[in-house]
């Protein structure tokens, strides 16, 4: 039996984009897949749409769990809480207004099988406009030799972003998501992952990021200040506990070598 891949997502007032999100999961050529999504106190009809889509999703041989938050938890706490409901071999985070390319799940699962020493994988993404028309290639990248994701964070350089995945080799995966964090969730996650296991980066677009959406949650907090804070905390954590970052391999798709 194939190993299950879990799609983790959190929805706050993204009703307008939910059908496109789910269609991109339905079109995945890999099975088995399970979607575990939190409704974070939406008031735009998102929860009702999730309930309406449940049957269609299951008819495409995809398991589906909706976690209806009783109080607003924001992204960090929502993702952490979702790990209580998710049991699989591999996990990937997809924002509820974004999409995956049709072979995204199969592609990373094949990489996990090809590199059994790897615990987490992140890929490149495509920045799109609100209508999902391509704008430009994303900013994910492999850290330069001798550097880590955290080292780049100290220099205010982005490296770890959309299609971020991990396997069940990661112990206590709920700790990958900082409680009550509203923004810079990917930065926190990247710093934690490289403390827990060997990673892999592949510069291949697997994720479509919708730019220009009104994101009221993220806008309520100063993202740059939050990024600075979690970076400083990670530096201190590593110094205090003598934590060394695991290596991050770089996959060269052209020849299949790292």
CATH of the domain spanning 5-251: 3.90.550.10
pLDDT, one tens digit per residue, over 172-206 is 898 999 988 898 999 999 999 999 999 999 999 99
How many Cβ atoms are within 10 Å of 94's Cβ, its own excluded? 25
Q: Model-level pTM greater than 0.75?
A: yes
- C-alpha–C-alpha distance, residues 83 and 151, integer Å: 28
Boundaries of every domain in the chain: 5-251
* pLDDT for residue 220 is more than 50: no
What is the reported pLDDT for 212?
Answer: 82
Nearest C-alpha neighbor of 186 from the set 216, 166, 167, 164: 164
């Amino acid at each position: 039996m194939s190993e299950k891949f879990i799609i983790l997502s959190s929805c706050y007032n993204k009703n307008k984009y939910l059908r496109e999100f789910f269609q991109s999961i339905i079109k995945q050529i890999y099975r088995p897949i399970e979607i575990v999504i939190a409704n974070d106190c939406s008031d735009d009809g998102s929860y009702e749409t999730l309930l309406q889509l449940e049957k269609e999703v299951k008819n495409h041989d995809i398991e589906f769990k909706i976690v209806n938050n009783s109080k607003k938890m924001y992204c960090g706490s929502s993702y952490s809480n979702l790990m209580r409901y998710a049991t699989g071999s591999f996990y990937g985070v997809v924002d509820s207004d974004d999409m995956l390319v049709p072979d995204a799940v199969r592609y990373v699962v094949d990489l996990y099988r090809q590199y059994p020493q790897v615990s987490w994988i992140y890929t490149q993404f495509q920045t799109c406009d609100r209508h999902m028309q391509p704008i430009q290639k994303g900013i994910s990248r492999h850290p330069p030799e001798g550097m880590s994701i955290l080292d780049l964070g100290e220099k205010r350089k982005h490296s770890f972003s959309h299609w971020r995945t991990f396997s069940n080799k990661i112990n206590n995966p709920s700790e990958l998501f900082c409680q009550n964090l509203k923004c810079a969730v990917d930065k926190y996650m990247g710093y934690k992952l490289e403390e827990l296991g060997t990673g892999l980066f592949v510069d291949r677009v697997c994720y479509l990021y919708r730019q220009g959406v009104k994101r009221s949650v993220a806008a309520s907090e100063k993202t740059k200040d939050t990024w600075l804070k979690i970076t400083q905390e990670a530096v201190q954590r590593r110094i205090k506990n003598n934590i060394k970052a695991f290596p991050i391999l770089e996959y060269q798709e052209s020849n299949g070598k790292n």
